[in-house]
Amino acid sequence: MWSLRCGLRQSLGRVMTRAMSASVPQIAPAPIMSANHVKRLNRKKLASALDPAAKTWFVDAYCTAEAYDLNGLHRLIRREGLYDSFEMFEGGFRDAASVNYEHGCDALRITPRYLVDDERREIFFLCGGSVVFWNVTELERLTILRKLRDFEKGRYPENFVFDEAEKMSYSHSEVAKAFLQKNQIILANESSPKHLDKYTFSHALALSVKLGILEATLDEFVEKIEHVHEDLRKEGLIRLSRTEVLKKLGALFALRHSVNLSSEFLDETPDFYWDRENLEPLYQHMKDYLNIGKRAKVMNEKLSLCCDLMDILVTHLNDTHHVRLEWMIIILIVIEVVCEFIHLMPLNMNDDFDSDTGDDDLFSDDINHDVPFHHAGTLMELNDNKAGMADLDKEKISRIIEEASKGSKFYDHKKKQQERIDAKIADLLRKKKAITEEQLKNASAKVGQIVRNLEKSRDLSRTFVHVDMDAFYAAVEMRDDPSLSDGSENIIVFIRRDKPMAVGGPGMLATSNYLARRFGVRAAMPGFIGQKLCPDLIIVPPNFEKYRAVNAIFSEVFAKYDPNYSAMSLDEAYLDITEFLRLDQNVRKPSDLSHAEEVVSDLREEIFLATQLTASAGIAPNTLLAKVCSDINKPNGQFYLRPERPVVAEFVEKLSVRKACGIGKVLESKLH
């Protein structure tokens, strides 16, 4: 490795000068050194307990894949009945038990029902593909890792998984707050609930093991290209074919993408911590201890050096190749941006990346690069991308939100977040500026071709349904508490129950009923802001056990229409009813509605009869479109997108990018 490093420094003179003046001066002298080295200075020092008599246990963290399907895993765990399980997500509940589709489920926590000793065994699965075991024997760990395989997306090589695992010791102490001392985690007996402290430590550990895998991948990459440099130095030759160079470039981009995407590696504090004063410092402390920020910077620096090396390889290839490669690089940049988009998409995405809508926008030149990019007005702009929130006086509501939140910790958190987004956008725009007209034209042509090919393979033969419960938690609470309604008998929940209400707490609301939405009150908004917007707002604490029980009831209805339905969260699922429609064909009487509409209307009615709650549905030739459609006639409605090419094309053309699931305010502003 060292010969490569030294040699690189000579042959990459130009490159290195640039790198050395880069923003991380302390690491510049040996930029290609193993980042793991930096990490290992700090890890695997299993210190003795503070009090030598205190009992210690171990916590083990592994990163096994790019991501987990936590919904699927959760279903398996519940079926097996060996563990109690709880889900957590950003919406912000201390002991949440629901996956939220919009934000994705962040973590799953399980505890065994059968106890072995007094110390609780506890396991956290994090959506980014890491799992953290507290006091779990190796045998049990391996069993769980094996079961986990079915739910892994983008599995990492076995040797990386085990080499990069982290192990630390922990103990308990009669103190009020958990802390980290002498490389040991000390859990506070008085802290309640304790599992949130454990989650916080696990969160940082999960990041560390993830970064470890990325570091190992990069190290392997560097080792593989070592011979290139040798050849170049000894013989002035490059023995790599164009395809190999391209493959390597692709791998580099993918890596860079992973590091940059996980902004948590750098300094971002996840939303989860904003109103958890005890936990945020714990998380930061643990991150510092594991050296995460610095390692991520080193890694980024190494990546740019590798990219520069590839640059040199490109210039050594002959001219025709050179031109070809250059536009391939542009394509890779396009792919990098598109990947960021796709990364957040659900199933069946490829069918849906439709022709003429978004792609040109990625490079449209309608932005003044020197102007700040966001919020001409308020920082705390109302996010009204939610059913029942059309035609609100957005400006007025945003102003009230801004006023209500100024000076609060929430405001500071959002401000910092916005600054980071601005910096990222500025960076993207800088990159964009460096792209020449010629490169852009070539890349656009290529992307156009890809899109045309995708269009050709569009399949309209299947019928997908997305069913989503209306104001789910709120509707359950309204159903069960007559004081939340005006008492009238109208069967449609949203007319009958006309008191503005929301479910959640002062820290964060999980959802609001449709009346409260007219005031601008919505999910992911702190309760205190909700009450400013709507002084009569009733806030009810959540009851996850109940939501789960309701979910079990309507899931049985789903299974009748599609035994393989995919639940996306506690209140929604995708169904493929193609087969159901085929078998059902001869049993139906003629009607004005299409066959699919009839069937879905029946399905919703069955849900209502079984739960006294309304659901909305979208029917379309793929899941992404079905998801968009289920929001159109919400609440208590459905929308059918006929499976005809021109109908679909027109529908997609009119769609704003924000309607695509996974594109929120942040990604939207990056894409513009």
Site residues for ligand DCP per CB under 6 A: 91, 98, 100, 102-103, 386-387, 468-474, 510-511, 523-524, 571-572, 634-635
Piece of the chain touching Ca ion by CB under 5 A; list 374-382, 472-480, 499-507, 652-660:
472-480
- In the complex with Ca ion, which residue's Cβ is closer, 64 or 551? 551
- In the complex with ligand DCP, which residue's Cβ is closer, 197 or 470? 470
When CB distances are held under 5 to 8 angstroms depending on the partner's kind, the choice from ligand DCP, Ca ion, none that residue 194 binds is none
CA 295 to chain centre: 22
- In the complex with ligand DCP, which residue's Cβ is closer, 207 or 387? 387
Tell me the closest approach of the beta carbon of residue 100 to Ca ion, in angstroms. Answer: 8
- In the complex with Ca ion, which residue's Cβ is closer, 99 or 255? 99
Locus of tokens 């945003």: 398
Tell me the closest approach of the beta carbon of residue 427 to ligand DCP, in angstroms. Answer: 28
Q: Among all residues, whose Cβ is closest to Ca ion?
A: 572
- In the complex with ligand DCP, which residue's Cβ is closer, 217 or 614? 614
When CB distances are held under 5 to 8 angstroms depending on the partner's kind, the choice from ligand DCP, Ca ion, none that residue 635 binds is ligand DCP
DSSP string, 118-154: SSPPEEEEETTTEEEEES--HHHHHHHHHHHGGGEEE
From the list 90, 280, 402, 572, the catalytic residue is 572
Residues 6+ apart with CB under 8 A from 326: 314, 439
- The verdict on 468 binding Ca ion (CB under 5 A) reads yes
Secondary structure (3-state) at 529: helix
* Count of residues making up the chain: 672
Q: Rounded to 10 degrees, what is the CA torsion of 72, 73, 79, 83?
A: -160
Q: Render the burial of 279-293: b for 16+ CB within 10 Å, e for the rest.
A: bbebbbbbbebbbbe
When CB distances are held under 5 to 8 angstroms depending on the partner's kind, the choice from ligand DCP, Ca ion, none that residue 602 binds is none
Order the strands of the 538-540 sheet from edge to edge: 509-512, 501-504, 538-540
The radius of gyration of the chain's CA atoms, rounded to the nearest angstrom, is 27
Tell me the closest approach of the beta carbon of residue 556 to ligand DCP, in angstroms. Answer: 19
Q: From CA 496, how far away is CA 169, in angstroms rounded?
A: 56
The tokens for 229 are 């440099």
Tell me the closest approach of the beta carbon of residue 72 to Ca ion, in angstroms. Answer: 17
- In the complex with Ca ion, which residue's Cβ is closer, 301 or 470? 470
Tell me the closest approach of the beta carbon of residue 541 to ligand DCP, in angstroms. Answer: 12
Binders in 549-578 for Ca ion, by CB under 5 A: 571-572
When CB distances are held under 5 to 8 angstroms depending on the partner's kind, the choice from Ca ion, ligand DCP, none that residue 219 binds is none
Q: Where are the alpha helices (DSSP H) in 151-291?
A: 158-163, 194-235, 242-261, 279-289
- 42 burial type by CB count under 10 A (0-12 exposed, 13-18 middle, 19+ buried): middle
Piece of the chain touching Ca ion by CB under 5 A; list 119-127, 234-242, 429-437, 469-477:
469-477
Tell which residue, 21, 41, 39, 40, has the closest CA to residue 29: 21
- In the complex with ligand DCP, which residue's Cβ is closer, 310 or 387? 387
Tell me the closest approach of the beta carbon of residue 230 to ligand DCP, in angstroms. Answer: 54
Piece of the chain touching Ca ion by CB under 5 A; list 264-272, 389-397, 471-479, 529-537:
471-479
Q: Render the burial of 486-521: b for 16+ CB within 10 Å, e for the rest.
A: eeeeeeebbeebbebbbbbbebbbbbbbbbbbbbbb
- Maximum separation of any 2 CA atoms in the chain, in Å: 88
Tell me the closest approach of the beta carbon of residue 510 to ligand DCP, in angstroms. Answer: 3
Q: Which of 62, 68, 89, 101 binds Ca ion (CB under 5 A)?
A: 101
Concerning whether 572 is annotated as a catalytic residue, the answer is yes
When CB distances are held under 5 to 8 angstroms depending on the partner's kind, the choice from Ca ion, ligand DCP, none that residue 387 binds is ligand DCP
Q: Which residues bind Ca ion (CB under 5 A)?
A: 101, 468-469, 472, 571-572
Q: Report, as residue numbers or ranges, the catalytic residues.
A: 572
